[in-house]
Amino acid sequence: MRDNDDVLESVILLGINAYITKDTQAIGLLKAAVELSVSNEQSRVSHYYLGMTYLEKNDYIKASNHLMLGIVFAVEHSGIVPSDSEIYVSIATVEEHLNNWRTAKEYLNLAIASSPNNVAAWHNLGVLSYKYEDDLDLAINALRNADALASHDPLHLETVAAYLRDAGRLSEAEMTYSEVFNRGIETRWGYEGFVKTKILQGRFDNACEIALECVGRHPEFGECWKWAGIASMYIQDFHNSVNYMSEAAANGSLLIEYCQIYEGMKNSIAISDAAGQLRAYYLDFCDSD
């Protein structure tokens, strides 16, 4: 009997590892684990990871079926055994993909009720609240709850700042980006958002400074170079703008946006020869995209 248990445990662990490494054998192994499972713990683990594998493959109906089955088996959360709260978050992800965002929100609330310290549940609740209900205040509250639980992760506050910027609440967006930067946990995406905010505020010199700081820290990130180029255009520094945009191209930043930017400049600003050359330099790239 012990030998059978050992074989099953090996199949489950192999299946989980295959899911993590995106091995094509994951589904076969985890299906076998589901069939062979005897205890509630084994069944929950097998169904959960099989559901997560289907989720990775965008097979949302099968993902939902197995995640729902996983929650049926009542066990204590430990080690590789997912908690109710974790499963609820996964089900919510599936439901959103199935365009059932209200149901997704219900599962996120269940996840939070089951475990108030579930960071992913709070973050996803904030995203859903803004994306589908346009409820910025609820989104901010949920995302700040996530940040309070995981203040080392800039994702939560950077998302708050981006939502505030998109809503036109620029002063609050600026303060939120500053909050992230003061912790020293900003990401390159945070730099990009901060630069966009400064440009929208008309503070072009400051935008350029932030973009160049990003370039210094993330020279491989094309978006940093792109925004340095854009910010430089706003302060009429066309020579450096060309150089920065060249670096953006070399580092893989999308170029189709530039064509639209240059068109806007041509229609609204007295364009110098340098700006005209800048647009011509990238026209081929824009057309090709």
CA 159 to chain centre: 9
Q: Per-residue pLDDT averaged across 140-144, rounded? A: 98
State pTM to two decimals: 0.81
Query: Would you say 14 and 29 are in contact if contact means Cβ atoms under 8 Å apart?
Result: yes
Look at 14-23, 25-34, 67-76, 174-183 and tell me which has the smallest mean pLDDT.
Answer: 67-76
Q: Determine the pLDDT at residue 1.
A: 43
What mean pLDDT do residues 237-254 have? Answer: 75
Let me know the angle formed at the C-alpha of 130 by 128 and 135, rounded to the nearest 5 degrees: 120
| Average confidence (pLDDT) over 191-215 | 90
Q: How far, in Å, CA of 278 to CA of 172, rounded?
A: 34
Residue 193 is predicted with a pLDDT of 92
User: What pLDDT is attached to residue 247?
Assistant: 79
96, 128 Cβ separation under 8 angstroms: yes
Q: What is the pLDDT of residues 261-273, one digit of tens each?
A: 554 444 444 445 4
pLDDT above 90 (res 100): yes
Per-residue pLDDT reduced to its tens digit, 34-75: 998 888 888 999 999 999 999 999 999 999 999 999 988 877
Q: Tell me what pLDDT residue 43 has.
A: 92
Confidence check: pLDDT of 215 > 80: yes
Considering 99-108, 244-253, 273-282, the range whose residues carry the highest mean pLDDT is 99-108
Could you tell me the domains of the chain?
A: 1-82 (1.25.40), 86-133 (no CATH)
Give the Cα separation of 93 and 54 in Å (integer). Answer: 12
Q: Which helix (H) or strand (E) segment is 115 a member of? A: none
CB 162 within 8 A of CB 190: no
Query: Which pLDDT value is given to residue 283?
Result: 45
